[in-house]
């Protein structure tokens, strides 16, 4: 797609994955807007940006260096160009400064001096702003915010997404002293505690998550060792126990847990398996309650299990079990309701497809019938105006032939309506059969918890 500057103004261009900036506007927001039209939700490919640059123009070269190199326009900390967008006071002011340079500087030396001064002013402003922003992010923002922001790998520890972190935590718990964990994204396997599975050998050595150094075994969900670890963990019987969670020493703040500090209660986890629409879906249902009888929100229960904990070996008695049972049932019904609403949307989409197809079919046939009506009128008019009997007979034959085609099209229209009704009934029958749900609920574990 080839577009003018209007292509940067609030339209969706996910079907494009290559952005060619034929010109480089002086306002950095405009560049970001152009890229953002393609680099957005629904994009299936990496977006490649090509910038055309007039190397014979000293001022254009300096604009490019300021936008792309010095201010890291395309490699920000939180997004594509946050350093420029978040630090420059106003894109319009920035554009005016560059415009002044173009207007008043006449020699390469004047251009270089002016751009050096602009770069120094904005560089110090950016460094100060970004340092303060990073500090506020790491010290004050909630852990959930950290997960939703892309932290720059050069300025923080290796960022792990939630599933990678869960896999590493589970592996750490399962392997224990058989492995040495290094930095949260890799570990050394010194001993394999598991028997060979399907004659697949598990080599010793260093394992790390993909996209790290590359000098190790890539550890991921479908790796044989990960599959064995997950299978061993999910098949283990978990008796009732007491866990003491340590929130005080957790590295980040979790706002939903603040009110639970110093509290205790019970928590249960269940696996809900639903078979519907020819597919099987699993849902983890967490329900918790405090000793005072306050039900935990599902997010609180999930976050609680992310804290480090130790097991209290003394006997455990679960209180408020009736609240837990009721909460599990309620959350099960919420899941079933959400699935029912999703399936209803699916049915609506399929029904709309049939209706649209029916409309297109009927409109096409009706258009053809109208065209045949027009031809009949023209043949009748021509027959009336004909001066000889032979001509009148010829036009009458032509009219009868067209009327025969029209009758055929009308029958086709009725047949099409019958076919539409048949397809709609077939769709309803198929979906009605698929929407018969089979549900199974398996209790995974129940614990008594304390949070320090």
**173 and 91 inside one domain:** no
The model's pTM:
0.50
Given 140, 174, 199, the domain boundary residue is 140
pLDDT at 122 > cutoff 70: no
| 424, part of any domain | yes
pLDDT at 155: 45
**397 and 285 inside one domain:** yes
CA dist 251 to 204, 248, 307, Å?
Answer: 31, 9, 10
**381 and 444 inside one domain:** yes
Least confident among 166-170, 233-237, 274-278, 436-440 = 274-278
Distance of alpha carbon 129 from alpha carbon 246, whole angstroms: 34
**87 and 177 inside one domain:** no
pLDDT in tens, 358-401: 777 777 777 888 888 888 888 888 888 888 888 878 878 888 88
pLDDT band at 132 (very low <50, low <70, confident <90, very high): low
**251 and 181 inside one domain:** no
Least confident among 39-48, 92-101, 350-359 = 92-101
Q: Which residue has the higher pLDDT, 27 or 439?
A: 439
Burial class (CB in 10 A: 0-12, 13-18, 19+), 279: exposed
Given 75, 110, 140, the domain boundary residue is 140
**222 and 361 inside one domain:** no
CA dist 96 to 61, 393, 406, Å?
Answer: 17, 82, 69
Q: Which residue has the higher pLDDT, 177 or 364?
A: 177
Range of the domain at 97: 5-140
Strand partners, 439: 274
Given 87, 108, 140, the domain boundary residue is 140
Can you tell me the mean pLDDT for 415-436?
73
**133 and 174 inside one domain:** no
**32 and 118 inside one domain:** yes
What are all long-range contacts of 164-172, with beta carbons under 8 Å and residues at least 24 apart? 164/209, 167/219, 167/220, 167/221, 167/226, 168/209, 170/229, 170/230, 170/233, 171/219, 171/225, 171/226, 171/229
**109 and 32 inside one domain:** yes
Counted domains in the chain:
3
Arithmetic mean of pLDDT over the chain: 76
Strand partners, 312: 242
The tokens 């020699």 sit on which residue? 107
């Amino acid at each position: 797609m080839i577009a003018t500057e209007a292509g940067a103004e609030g339209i969706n261009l996910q079907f494009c994955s290559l952005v060619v900036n034929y010109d480089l506007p002086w306002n950095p927001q405009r560049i970001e807007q152009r890229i953002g039209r393609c680099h957005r939700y629904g994009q299936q490919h990496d977006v490649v940006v090509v910038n055309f640059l007039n190397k014979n123009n000293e001022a254009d070269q300096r604009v490019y260096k300021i936008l792309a190199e010095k201010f890291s326009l395309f490699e920000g900390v939180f997004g594509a160009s946050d350093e420029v967008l978040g630090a420059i006071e106003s894109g319009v002011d920035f554009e005016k400064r560059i415009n002044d340079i173009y207007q008043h500087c006449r020699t390469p030396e004047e251009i270089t001096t002016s751009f050096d001064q602009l770069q120094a002013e904005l560089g110090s402003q950016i460094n100060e702003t970004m340092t303060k922003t990073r500090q506020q992010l790491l010290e004050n923002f909630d852990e959930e915010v950290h997960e939703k922001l892309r932290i720059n790998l050069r300025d923080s520890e290796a960022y792990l997404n939630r599933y990678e972190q869960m896999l590493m935590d589970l592996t750490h718990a399962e392997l224990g002293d058989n492995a040495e964990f290094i930095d949260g994204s890799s570990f050394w396997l010194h001993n394999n505690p598991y028997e060979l599975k399907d004659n697949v050998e598990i080599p010793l050595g260093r394992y790390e998550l993909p996209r790290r150094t590359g000098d190790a075994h890539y550890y991921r969900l479908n790796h044989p060792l990960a599959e064995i670890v997950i299978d061993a963990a999910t098949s283990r019987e978990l008796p009732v126990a007491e866990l003491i969670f340590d929130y005080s020493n957790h590295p980040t703040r979790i706002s939903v847990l603040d009110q639970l500090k110093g509290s205790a209660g019970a928590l249960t986890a269940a696996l809900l398996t639903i078979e519907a629409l020819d597919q099987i879906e699993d849902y983890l249902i967490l329900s918790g309650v405090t000793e005072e009888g306050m039900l935990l929100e599902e997010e609180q229960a999930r976050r609680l299990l992310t804290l480090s904990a130790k097991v209290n070996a003394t006997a455990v008695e679960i209180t408020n079990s009736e609240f837990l049972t009721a909460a599990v049932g309620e959350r099960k019904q919420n899941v079933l309701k959400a699935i029912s609403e999703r399936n209803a949307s699916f049915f609506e989409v399929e029904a709309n497809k049939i209706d649209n197809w029916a409309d297109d079919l009927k409109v096409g046939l009706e258009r053809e019938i109208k065209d045949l009506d027009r031809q009949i009128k023209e043949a009748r008019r021509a027959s009336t105006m004909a001066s000889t009997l032979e001509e009148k007979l010829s036009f009458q034959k032509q009219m009868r032939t067209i009327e025969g085609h029209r009758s055929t099209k009308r029958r086709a229209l009725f047949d099409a309506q019958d076919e539409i009704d048949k397809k709609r009934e077939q769709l309803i029958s198929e979906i009605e059969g698929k929407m018969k749900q089979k549900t199974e609920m398996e209790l995974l574990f129940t614990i008594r918890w304390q949070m320090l």
